[in-house]
């Protein structure tokens, strides 16, 4: 028996919810920008530089209070200690030390000796401020170049109206994802940049499927109003969109539950991206497209199909 999350013959009037969707998107984007400007991001070692040490207690749950007391006496500056994954796993973050590479190595050795034999050091990282700033610039550049390339592709693949709608929808997804990281205080690092680029790719793939059906129906139903054509296109691709989103979300939930802390933030960003990307493909991209007067083409004749009566 085939599982159908959405009927293949659905007939919803999506565009009638355009004002509600526009208000929601506006609040979401403005809130995300406000969170970013006001609170900022919890930048990881990749961007702000410093030392990161991952260790695991070999004698039961980690005693964070004792670790903090011991670490604070090392005079290494700002130190953050937290558990992740299980109560035995510890993540130690230390600000960059004054001096050259030898000063950073000395600090790592000091922290490792303070942890003692009861902790097994699993991972050690150090990133300098110059490299961190360069990674931040390249990360932002990568996102901007990806969005620009997608815009150009959609422009050539369809028309300029489709390109404008797609890039605004993608920007909506990226900004809201950044706002999510600011709100939750999840670490923002290179893995997050990879998640944002993946979200952009996922979202535009879904949007292109809808746009392709819109273009096909514009040529087929010439006597229909543009609004009816857009709604029909969304309904015809709805089952595919929902099934793709749900199966992707199930895989991401498995990563969140079983993948550990290292993959958690990436998977959460992707889960949010799948959700907001599906929403934006339907309500933002096509909603914006409805504001333009689209070219109907002249390849085909109207097949005479009556206009639909929408489900309420």
Q: What is the pLDDT of residue 24?
A: 92
The predicted model scores a pTM of: 0.72
Q: What is the pLDDT of residue 312?
A: 47
Would you state the CATH architecture of domain 14-42+132-289?
Up-down Bundle (1.20)
Long-range contacts of range 201-205, CB-CB < 8 Å, 24 or more positions apart? Answer: 201/146, 202/248, 202/273, 202/274, 202/277, 203/169, 203/170, 203/173, 203/273, 203/276, 203/277, 203/280, 203/281, 204/150, 204/154, 204/166, 204/170
Residue 112 predicted with pLDDT over 60? yes
Spatial CB neighbours of 232, under 8 Å, sequence gap ≥ 6: 217, 221, 224, 308
Residue 3's pLDDT band, with cuts at 50, 70 and 90, is low
Higher pLDDT, 210 or 50: 210
User: Do 187 and 42 form a contact (C-beta atoms < 8 A)?
Assistant: yes
User: Do 301 and 227 form a contact (C-beta atoms < 8 A)?
Assistant: no
Higher pLDDT, 198 or 304: 198
CB atoms within 10 A of CB 154: 24
Residue 166 predicted with pLDDT over 50? yes
**Stretch(es) of the chain classified as CATH 3.30.70.3400:** 50-127
Tell me what the mean pLDDT of segment 18-45 comes to: 87
Tell me what the mean pLDDT of segment 184-201 comes to: 81
Give the residue carrying structure tokens 């939930």. Answer: 253
Q: What is the pLDDT of residue 9?
A: 67
The chain-wide mean pLDDT, for the chain, equals 79
Higher pLDDT, 168 or 57: 168
Give the residue carrying structure tokens 């949007």. Answer: 207
Q: What is the pLDDT of residue 311?
A: 54
Higher pLDDT, 106 or 85: 106
Cα–Cα distances in angstroms (integers) from residue 223 to residues 172, 173, 219, 226, 229, in the given order:
33, 34, 10, 9, 10
Tell me what the mean pLDDT of segment 244-266 comes to: 81
Q: Cα 304 to the chain's mean position, in Å?
A: 42
Instruction: Return the top range by mean pLDDT from 114-118, 159-163, 250-254.
Output: 250-254
Would you state the CATH architecture of domain 50-127?
2-Layer Sandwich (3.30)
- 53-81 pLDDT, tens digit each: 888 887 778 777 877 877 777 777 767 77
Q: How far apart are CA 63 and CA 78, in angstroms?
A: 19
Q: What is the pLDDT of residue 130?
A: 60
**Stretch(es) of the chain classified as CATH 1.20.1640.10:** 14-42+132-289
- 263-312 pLDDT, tens digit each: 777 888 888 888 888 888 888 888 888 887 777 665 555 555 555 555 54
Tell me what the mean pLDDT of segment 94-104 comes to: 73
Spatial CB neighbours of 78, under 8 Å, sequence gap ≥ 6: 94, 95
Residue 29's pLDDT band, with cuts at 50, 70 and 90, is very high
At 77 the three-state DSSP class reads: coil
Least confident piece of the model among 47-51, 139-143, 215-219: 47-51
């Amino acid at each position: 028996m085939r599982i159908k999350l959405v009927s293949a013959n659905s007939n919803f009037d999506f565009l009638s919810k355009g004002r509600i969707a526009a208000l929601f998107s506006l609040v979401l984007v403005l809130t995300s920008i406000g969170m970013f400007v006001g609170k900022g991001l919890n930048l990881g070692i990749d961007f702000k530089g410093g030392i990161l040490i991952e260790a695991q207690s070999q004698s039961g749950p980690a005693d964070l209070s004792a670790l903090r007391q011991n670490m604070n006496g090392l005079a290494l500056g700002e130190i953050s200690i937290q558990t992740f994954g299980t109560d035995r796993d510890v993540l130690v973050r230390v600000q960059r030390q004054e001096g050259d590479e030898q000063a950073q190595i000395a600090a790592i050795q000091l922290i490792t000796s303070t942890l003692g034999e009861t902790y097994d050091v699993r991972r050690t990282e150090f990133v300098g401020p110059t490299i961190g700033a360069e990674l931040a610039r390249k990360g932002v550049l990568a996102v901007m170049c990806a969005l620009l390339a997608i815009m150009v592709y959609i422009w050539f693949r369809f028309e300029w109206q489709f390109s404008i709608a797609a890039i605004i929808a993608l920007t909506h997804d990226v900004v809201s994802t950044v706002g999510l990281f600011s709100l939750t205080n999840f670490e923002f690092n290179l893995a997050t940049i990879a998640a944002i680029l993946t979200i952009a790719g996922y979202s535009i793939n879904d949007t292109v499927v809808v746009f392709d059906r819109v273009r096909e129906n514009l040529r087929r139903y010439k006597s229909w109003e543009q609004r009816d054509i857009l709604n029909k296109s969304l309904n015809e691709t709805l089952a595919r969109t929902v099934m793709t989103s749900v199966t992707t979300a199930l895989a991401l939930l498995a990563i969140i539950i079983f993948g550990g802390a290292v993959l958690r933030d990436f998977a959460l960003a992707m889960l949010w991206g799948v959700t907001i990307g599906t929403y934006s493909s339907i309500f933002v991209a096509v909603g914006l497209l409805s504001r333009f007067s689209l070219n109907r083409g002249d390849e085909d004749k109207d097949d005479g199909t009556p206009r639909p009566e929408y489900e309420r």
